[in-house]
Amino acid sequence: MTKKERFNRLSEIGCIVCKIHYGATTPCCIHHLTGINFRSTGKKASYEYTIGLCPMHHQYGDNENPSIHARPVQFAEKFGSQEILLERTNELL
């Protein structure tokens, strides 16, 4: 699957957190997984390591709905690790 095909399919799926935890399909942003397992120092993860997250779960979360960038530990505790969300995303693709 090419980068463009993957990103188009991610857009169709929507936010993986909203889909799994709330049964909703919401528009998403593309999130490149973070951490040394997914990228080289100073670089984004490859397009193969991407998931769809809505703006709330990507950047603008709060205490009840933490975002992966603002509250990564709380996000993982509530919604699962990036690896788990990537696995679920790839199953849907």
In degrees, rounded to 5, the angle at the alpha carbon of residue 47 between the alpha carbons of residues 44 and 51 is 95
pLDDT tens digits, the chain, 93 residues: what are they?
999 999 999 999 999 999 999 999 999 999 999 876 776 556 788 899 999 999 999 999 998 899 999 999 999 999 999 999 999 999 999
Residues whose CB falls within 8 Å of the CB of residue 26, separated by 6 or more in sequence, listed in order: 14, 15, 18, 54
Annotate 59-76 with b (16+ C-beta within 10 A) or e (fewer).
eebeeebbbbeebeebbb
- The 3-state DSSP class for residue 32 equals strand
Amino acid occupying residue 1: M
Please state the pTM of the whole predicted model. Answer: 0.91
pLDDT at 40: 59
